[in-house]
Amino acid sequence: MDALDQLVAQVQALSGSEQDVAHLSSLLKQADELLRTHALRLPFSLSSLHPTKHSLGYLYLLEAQSSGTLTREQSDSFLALASSFLTVCAPEQIRLAPDKFNSVCRRLRDQAMHLHEPMRAILPLQCAIRKLQPSSEYLTAIHADYLQMCLLSKCYKASLSILEDDIFEIDQKKTSLVPRDFLLYCYYGGMIYIGLKKFSKALEFFQHAITAPTTALNAITIAAFGKYVLVSLIQNGQVPPFPKYTPAVVLRNLKSCVQDYLDLANLYASRNIAEVKRCITQHEEVFKNQDNNLGLAKQVIASLYKRNIQRLTQTYLTLSLQDIANTVQLDDEKDAELHILQMIKDGDIFAAINQKDGMVSFQEDPEQYNTCDMTQRLNNEIHHIVCLAKKLTWVDEQVSCDHAYLSKIGRDRPRYDEDFDLVPQKIYTNI
């Protein structure tokens, strides 16, 4: 029998119990070369295998089949095969070969982009993520590809279920993840949240990208930082200082790469709309062509208007529309009225417009916090935080017992604690 047919027979035979599958996976690893040489015959072999029962074998064959360049119908058929495979494969089997699985998903994404049909890849990739993850708290390499597809096809809502899972675990052995995937995940996640107008969550994601531990500055980090500046101007009106855990490399070098954004942030602080507009047109080339951030920059201007109006609520109880237009440097009353109406609808301010005499009276937040819904909400939040606190203490303990930490502490201690006997450093460093 031909080597390939032998292999196929083995796949069919050994896909039963767990030990068989483990044995099969080692066999398949060795058979990689073999599969590549017989790439043309693979489609026939594939049809004799069942994607759910023989997931592992199917995976290897599929991967080998798609390794070369494909013609148009080939990529179409590959797309169809891969999509159906990803939706029905058996999770336990594919978890034994995460790197192959990742490369199949990557090929799927490439082919979908090649055919300009990113939407076809969304459902298969979502199933793939769920199958590869041991639990919903794990990050996989497929997350980044999936988010990219959602972005390209503008299906933001579809990605929400994946984005809203809090990630706590990163395990390279189980998911064969590289740091680049993590950075891409944060970057694309932030962009999707911008699309959904949830700016605070977008800020969180971009901050993760900036503060990820690294030893060299990454282009993704720089791009994320640009967007971070713009989104934080829109959301908070200022750019916060770097948190404690930002890696030193980022701290030193980032500012020099993003000078335009920093200028914009400085001018924003002056609250002068004409200046900000001028700055944006000045750097339009950078914003538009280099980073595709012109839309965001325009939103920055809109947010500046909003912020100026909000500041008025702190000074005045009532104000006429004409005065508002003048103070905020809007063109005329109608404009001011539109702006204020929009803000009331969004819940940014609480006010009432008296159209007869053109006066706007600013009011307090009517929330009294005396409803059962509020109790319910507070209760849920408290539970959430208590769970998070438990996780944090667990991670804290893990780090306290970590070898690197103990060795650094062991070295520092004799200098600062004279009461203690000399810490036996040998114990810590010879583990």
Partner 1 sequence: MSSSSGLTFKLHPLVIVNISDHHTRSKAQTGRAGRPPRVYGCVLGVQTGRTVEIFNSFELRYDPVEELLDRAFLETKQEQYKKVFPKYDVLGWYSTGSDVQDSDMLIHKALMDINESPVYVLLNPTINHAQKDLPISIFESELHVIDEVPSLIFVNASYTIETVEAERISVDHVAHIKPSDGSSAATQLAAHLTGMHSAIKMLNSRIRVLYHHLASIQKGDAEYEHSLLRQISSLVRRLPAIDSPKFQDDFLMEYNDTLLMTYLATITKCSSTMNELVDKFNTAYDKQNRRGGRTTFI
Q: Are 285 and 321 in contact (CB under 8 A)?
A: no
* Sequence letter at residue 47: S
Return the CA Rg of the chain: 28
Smallest CA-to-CA distance from 7 within 22, 25, 99 is with: 25
The token duo for 3 is: 């080597």
Smallest CA-to-CA distance from 300 within 353, 260, 338 is with: 260
Q: How far is the CB of 30 from partner 1 (least distance, A)?
A: 38
Q: How far is the CB of 399 from partner 1 (least distance, A)?
A: 5
Longest dimension (CA), the chain: 94
The residue to which tokens 């997350």 are assigned: 143
Q: How far is the CB of 369 from partner 1 (least distance, A)?
A: 5
Nearer to partner 1, 180 or 384 (CB): 384
Q: Torsions phi, psi of 328, nearest 5?
A: -90, 5
Q: 3-state class of 351 per DSSP?
A: strand
Nearer to partner 1, 369 or 420 (CB): 369
67, with CB counted inside 10 A (0-12, 13-18, 19+), is middle
Q: How far is the CB of 190 from partner 1 (least distance, A)?
A: 18
DSSP tag of 40: G
Nearer to partner 1, 338 or 409 (CB): 409
Cβ count near 77 (within 10 Å): 14
Q: Are 263 and 279 in contact (CB under 8 A)?
A: yes
Nearer to partner 1, 52 or 379 (CB): 379
Nearer to partner 1, 332 or 381 (CB): 381
Nearer to partner 1, 251 or 341 (CB): 251
Nearer to partner 1, 97 or 210 (CB): 210
C-alpha span between 224 and 206 (Å, rounded): 6
The residue to which tokens 């971070």 are assigned: 228
Nearer to partner 1, 17 or 215 (CB): 215
Q: How far is the CB of 73 from partner 1 (least distance, A)?
A: 51
Q: How far is the CB of 169 from partner 1 (least distance, A)?
A: 16
C-alpha span between 9 and 90 (Å, rounded): 19
Nearer to partner 1, 289 or 379 (CB): 379
The residue to which tokens 């708290």 are assigned: 137
CA distances for 139 relative to 173, 259, 285, angstroms: 12, 33, 36
Smallest CA-to-CA distance from 42 within 26, 57, 20 is with: 57
Q: Which residues bind partner 1 (CB under 8 A)?
A: 213, 215, 239-248, 251, 255, 262, 265-266, 368-372, 374-375, 378-379, 381-382, 385-386, 388-389, 392-393, 395-396, 399-400, 402, 404-405, 408-409
Q: How far is the CB of 253 from partner 1 (least distance, A)?
A: 13
Q: How far is the CB of 240 from partner 1 (least distance, A)?
A: 7
345, with CB counted inside 10 A (0-12, 13-18, 19+), is exposed
Nearer to partner 1, 399 or 431 (CB): 399
Nearer to partner 1, 90 or 257 (CB): 257
Q: How far is the CB of 404 from partner 1 (least distance, A)?
A: 4
C-alpha span between 152 and 262 (Å, rounded): 29
DSSP tag of 169: B
Q: How far is the CB of 396 from partner 1 (least distance, A)?
A: 5
Q: How far is the CB of 400 from partner 1 (least distance, A)?
A: 6
At residue 125's C-alpha, the angle toward residues 124 and 126, to 5°, is: 90
At residue 272's C-alpha, the angle toward residues 269 and 277, to 5°, is: 100
